[in-house]
Structure 1
């Protein structure tokens, strides 16, 4: 299973975060565990999981999927170098998705340019699987727009998220924030960071100005990713 997971996480594309900002060319997918999924045998679950991982490996080799990673608590994320419509077609090829094991959220996305965030992702495509080291200290923060608030238009600016990135980097070190993405159509932002503190530094991200104002909510999770994909040491 470890070898399959390592292969699934390999990134197949290097790109400039700042150069691609504003194009909306990438697609980010949340795979949320379906609480109402059908009760099936363990053998059927194992078969679906094998097909799920094989499909991920195929999409990575086809250079359509940039990244895949699971949360510690279940579910996971996909990042594609395809537009939303192509991504939706691709997702139908996943047997676990076809079997309604996940509830999907699909977003067009751009990197958030900031001098505290690495400007490129580093490909691990040429690495031997045995040489890929899994990082256990990665965390993921999702900011979601509160669309019921009449001031929701204010969320469209990244200024508040950039201020938070600057604050966290100053407090915890320049290498803490390793990636940031903007979900287009005013759907919020995503931040990847690393921390050796058990449970991460969630309180720092809860201090986002728009969260305090009620314009956004946030989710904080630990996530598996291989070391080096964000060009970190």
Structure 2
């Protein structure tokens, strides 16, 4: 049902192209222990959530959106203002009800970009890897060298995989990579930043319209 709803939502996505490189990425993180509520109330919240997505898309604020397999999802907004996007998110009934833990992050693309998907929409699964820094007083001195090795490792993946998108969330909030492939988390055990405990990663399956990362 959620896949069908997101396909319908795409029909209302605005064709307005965002200012280049000015995006805000939102993670709707599934809660491990979300409050149990009556099914009718949950259905009402999700209906309001989907309706709000449609409205934000029609207004040209929301460029891309998709759920994760197993719960949660992402939004990408045509704004570089964290506070502005926070205000837009407050109109979402599901967000107001605390159904997810929400992360609002500035997004700076390094590979690919964000584009409004075009009709006819083709819904696809991609692999999304989120990297979260784990900088402490014990490893901060090594940060520049480890980050260079981390970046080199990610670049090396492009020889074996189709990297649709890669970008960072600023100096302190890590980054993201999107692959057109199913991969095993063990692949990243060779990542120096993971090996050194400098960075944590989360591997997710993203259901989204093809073209959302400007891929053909």
- Considering the TM-score relative to the shorter chain, is it more than 0.5? yes
Q: Could you state the TM-score of these two structures normalised by the residue count of structure 1?
A: 0.80
Which ranges in structure 2 are unaligned for 5 or more consecutive residues? none
Q: Please state if 1:44 is matched with 2:44.
A: no
Q: Please state if 1:6 is matched with 2:4.
A: no
Match of 1:151 in 2: 139
Following superposition of structure 1 onto structure 2, how do residues 180-199 of structure 1 map, counting pairs within 5 Å? Answer: 180-195=166-181, 197=182
Please give the per-residue CA displacement for 1:14-38, whole angstroms capped at 9, x wherever unaligned: 468xx63xxxx42211111234433
Which of 58, 67, 89 aligns to 1:91? It is 89
Please give the per-residue CA displacement for 1:143-166, whole angstroms capped at 9, x wherever unaligned: 111033533362698644432232
Q: Please state if 1:167 is matched with 2:156.
A: yes
Which of 58, 61, 72 aligns to 1:61? It is 58
Q: Could you state the TM-score of these two structures normalised by the residue count of structure 2?
A: 0.85
Question: CA RMSD of the aligned region, Å?
Answer: 2.5
CA distance in 1: counterparts of 2:16 and 2:144, whole angstroms? 30
Match of 1:142 in 2: 130
| Farther-moved stretch of structure 1 (160-169 vs 37-46) | 160-169
CA distance in 2: counterparts of 1:230 and 1:66, whole angstroms? 10
Aligned residues: 211
Match of 1:221 in 2: 204
Partner-residue secondary structure (3-state), 2:116: coil
CA spacing shift, 1:158–1:56, aligned 2, 3 Å: farther
CA spacing shift, 1:100–1:210, aligned 2, 3 Å: same
Contact 1:145 1:216 in 2 (8 A): yes
Contact 1:142 1:219 in 2 (8 A): yes
Which ranges in structure 1 are unaligned for 5 or more consecutive residues? none
